[in-house]
């Protein structure tokens, strides 16, 4: 695995800071936010793309592509794969919710300021959402399946799930799967703020992202790129690969409800969870931990609480530790599922469940065990990770401890 996140620019730093209860929110530095309603976000710190990408190439790509290449390079090294030797059996599945938002903004500014003949000719390749996946494939030399999901905040769960299916169907032996998002731009902050989706705690950004807390008032924008290497089990064993965990279940559904609001009944996201459990051959009683979507929005967190109760049953839901790592990372949109998959994988491997930070005031509508503020040693054999996206996209993954 590999990751660049608001909590650190590698997977291990991310995990250490996450389990220590640290948060990534602070004043926006990407632009001057003083005229905006929201002044803070969860940005990457000290991210230098030229550590992983040749300088000339890095200038041609949007930040969302730079971030996923960095994550992919780290994942390649961590995996010990010889991609060159198996180029046609190795694929890439990388998601994003928006794509090259900064490049889109730059292109529009050039158009207005200098006219249509002076627009950067590389603008479109920098903007289009598939280029995160395409750049990973070109940089690493993979020639197997190449896919890019663009399904809002469910996107990287779907990228990982679809990559799993590519291996199951025999189309690849190895897939690099994950997501990337670089939405902390003027149009990103302005747009999400205008729709009242973002927290406005400018006086206390460190505590603004507070999933399941009664005083939550919106999400905090985050940015991240993360990759997990998925490999067919016998292929991994034959090369004596380091195996963190098994991905055993994947479920999908649609709300068919509203462009932004969640299904008020909770039935349809719960169906995605049930499908993932069925796919995994796992009973609800076997779930040890849930990494929740938990965005810190008033409607979303209350809805997900209902969803979990429907999917697991009321009694089991109350017995199961649940956390939203978005309290620490903010909402990284299309990259959320990938960094949360890494959190769930490491929870299973290390029997530690990460906390929901900034949880201070209980909400009667959110009445489950959200692992408040401190990580917990917890025997975790099976974890479930939820992601739900604008437009009604629901995607769920089931991760199980690898026992050999």
Same domain, 252 and 232: no
Same domain, 177 and 52: yes
Same domain, 263 and 351: yes
CA–CA separation, 254 vs 364, rounded Å? 27
- Residues marked active site are found at 153, 293, 331
Range of the domain at 320: 245-401
Same domain, 143 and 283: no
- The Cβ of residue 56 has, within 10 Å, a number of other Cβ atoms equal to 8
Half-sphere exposure of 222 (CA within 13 A, CB side): 37
Same domain, 231 and 263: no
Name the token pair of 111: 């158009």
Last residue of a domain, one of 238, 273, 292: 238
What are the average pLDDT values for consecutive 10-residue runs of the chain, which has 404 residues?
Answer: 98 98 98 97 97 95 98 98 95 98 95 93 95 98 97 97 98 98 97 96 98 98 98 97 97 94 91 98 98 97 97 97 98 98 98 98 98 98 97 97 93
Sequence-separated (6 or more) residues with CB below 8 Å from residue 5 = 14, 24, 44, 222, 224, 226, 329, 332, 339
> How many domains are there within the chain?
2
- What pLDDT was estimated at residue 31? 97
- The Cβ of residue 271 has, within 10 Å, a number of other Cβ atoms equal to 21
- What pLDDT was estimated at residue 394? 97
Torsions phi, psi for 96 (to 5 deg): -155, 150
- What pLDDT was estimated at residue 263? 85
Same domain, 140 and 106: yes
Give the CATH number of the domain where residue 293 resides: 3.40.47.10
- What pLDDT was estimated at residue 210? 98
Same domain, 221 and 261: no
Last residue of a domain, one of 195, 217, 238: 238
């Amino acid at each position: 695995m590999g990751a660049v996140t608001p909590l650190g620019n590698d997977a291990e730093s991310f995990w250490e800071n996450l389990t220590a209860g640290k948060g990534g929110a602070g004043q926006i530095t990407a632009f001057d936010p003083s005229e905006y309603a929201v002044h803070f976000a969860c940005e990457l710190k000290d991210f230098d793309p030229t550590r992983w990408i040749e300088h000339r190439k890095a200038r041609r790509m949007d930040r969302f592509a730079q971030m996923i290449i960095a994550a992919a390079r780290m994942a390649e090294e961590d995996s010990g794969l010889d991609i060159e030797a198996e180029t046609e059996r190795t694929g890439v599945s990388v998601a994003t919710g928006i794509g090259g938002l900064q490049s889109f903004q730059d292109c529009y500014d050039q158009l207005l300021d200098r006219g249509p003949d002076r627009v950067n000719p590389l603008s479109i390749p920098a903007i289009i959402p598939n280029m995160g996946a395409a750049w990973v494939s070109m940089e690493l030399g993979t020639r197997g399946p190449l896919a890019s999901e663009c399904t809002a905040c469910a996107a990287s769960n779907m990228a990982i799930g679809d990559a799993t299916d590519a291996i199951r169907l025999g189309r690849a032996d190895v897939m690099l799967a994950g997501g990337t998002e670089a939405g902390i731009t003027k149009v990103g902050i302005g747009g999400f703020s205008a729709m009242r989706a973002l927290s406005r705690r400018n006086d206390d950004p460190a505590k603004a992202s507070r999933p399941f807390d009664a005083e939550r008032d919106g999400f905090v924008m985050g940015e991240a790129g993360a990759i997990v290497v998925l490999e067919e089990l016998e292929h991994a064993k034959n090369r004596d690969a380091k195996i963190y965990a098994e991905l055993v279940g994947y479920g999908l559904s649609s709300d068919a409800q509203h462009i932004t609001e969640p299904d008020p009944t909770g039935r349809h996201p719960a169906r995605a969870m049930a499908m993932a459990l069925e796919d995994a051959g796992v009973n609800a009683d076997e779930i040890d931990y849930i990494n929740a979507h938990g965005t810190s929005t008033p409607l979303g967190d209350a809805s997900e609480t209902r969803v979990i109760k429907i999917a697991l049953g009321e009694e089991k839901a109350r017995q199961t530790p649940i956390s939203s790592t978005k309290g620490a990372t903010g909402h990284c949109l299309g990259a959320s599922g990938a960094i949360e998959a890494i959190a769930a994988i490491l929870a299973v491997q290390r029997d530690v469940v990460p906390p929901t930070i900034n949880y201070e005031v209980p909400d009667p509508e959110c009445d489950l065990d959200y692992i408040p503020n401190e990580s917990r040693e917890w025997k975790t054999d099976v974890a479930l990770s939820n992601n739900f996206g604008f437009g009604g996209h629901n995607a769920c993954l089931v991760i199980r401890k690898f026992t050999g």
